[in-house]
């Protein structure tokens, strides 16, 4: 018997540089379409969503954030690589403690053993470019 479908609680953080936000770009090979999502990840049992946002940025980028404020919560039902997904997404605003990070065009990040690049993208690039912002409800906070 396979793994039971479940709703996954996650926290993401909108790190902003002017109008741009920091995102991880990825690609769904089944849909043959790119997407971009702010950094963040799963909330551990016993952890607040705010603490999860802070921890996830620390784990992924190796840096600290401050000024973490809850902007809202969205429900994200989606299909990725042909498999259904369902998330409750706590959306936070925050900023880097080390302000020199805003001068970099991209930041190297880690998720587990996988390395990826986090990049600054403008709203227009996220609306019309090859990597569209997900979940769609994030536009309400930009």
Predicted pLDDT of residue 4 = 67
What's the average pLDDT block by block, 10 residues per block, for the chain (142 residues)?
A: 78 97 96 95 97 97 97 96 95 97 95 91 94 95 90
Does residue 1 sit within a domain? no
Segments forming the whole domain that contains residue 19 = 8-141
In the prediction, which pLDDT does 1 show?
44
Confirm whether 136 is domain-assigned. Answer: yes
> Is residue 135 reached through a cis peptide bond, with omega within 30 degrees of 0 on the bond before it?
yes
Give the CATH number for residue 40: 3.90.79.10
| Cα–Cα distance for residue pair 25/92, rounded to 1 Å | 19
Q: Residue 138's closest CA among 73, 85, 69?
A: 73
The reply to whether 2 falls in a domain is no
**Residue 2 pLDDT:** 53
pLDDT value at position 44? 97
Q: How many domains does the chain have?
A: 1
- What is the pTM for the complete model shown? 0.93
- 13 within a domain of the structure (yes/no): yes
| Within-domain flag for 12 | yes
Residue 57: partners with Cβ closer than 8 Å, 6 or more residues away: 13, 15, 39, 40, 63, 64, 65, 94
Residue 109 falls inside a structural domain: yes
């Amino acid at each position: 018997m396979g793994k039971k479908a479940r709703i996954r609680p996650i926290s993401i953080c909108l790190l902003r540089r002017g109008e741009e936000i920091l995102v991880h770009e990825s690609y769904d090979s089944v849909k043959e379409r790119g997407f971009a999502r702010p950094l963040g990840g799963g909330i551990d049992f016993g952890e607040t969503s705010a603490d999860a946002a802070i921890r996830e940025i620390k784990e992924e980028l190796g840096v600290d954030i401050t000024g973490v404020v809850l902007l809202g919560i969205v429900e994200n039902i989606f299909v990725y690589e042909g498999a259904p997904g369902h998330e409750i997404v706590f959306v936070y605003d925050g900023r880097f403690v080390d302000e020199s990070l805003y001068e970099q065009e991209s930041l190297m990040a880690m998720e587990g053993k996988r390395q990826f690049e986090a990049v600054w993208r403008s709203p227009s690039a996220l609306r019309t470019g090859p990597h569209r912002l997900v979940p769609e409800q994030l536009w309400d906070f930009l």
